[in-house]
Amino acid sequence: MPVYEYRCQQGHEVELLRPIGSPAPADGCSECGTELVRRYSRVGVRYDGWGFPSNDRLVSRPGEKDFGALREHAERIADGD
């Protein structure tokens, strides 16, 4: 079960373990009793594999492959040149 973040109208925040897709708890905030609204937070995404170095940018450095040149070469091959 995922952990969902909720915030009430008074600004209290709570994290709850809830089944996927379940609605906000009907009993409301445990501190003030107002309605809880689900917050959508950021998630960590790591691009891994060809073309995505650790800084997530398509930038070549000395000693690394030149991804721009590789892309151009692949386009030339695809065009039949």
pTM as predicted: 0.50
What's the count of helices (H) and strands (E) in the chain, helices before strands?
1, 3
- 36, 6 Cβ separation under 8 angstroms: yes
Query: How many angstroms separate the first and last alpha carbons of the chain?
Result: 53
Helix (H) or strand (E) holding 69: helix 67-79
User: Tell me: the pLDDT tens digits for 49-72?
Assistant: 666 655 555 555 555 666 777 778
Per domain, the residue ranges of the chain are 3-39, 45-81
User: Tell me: the pLDDT tens digits for 8-45?
Assistant: 999 999 888 888 888 888 888 888 989 998 888 767 77
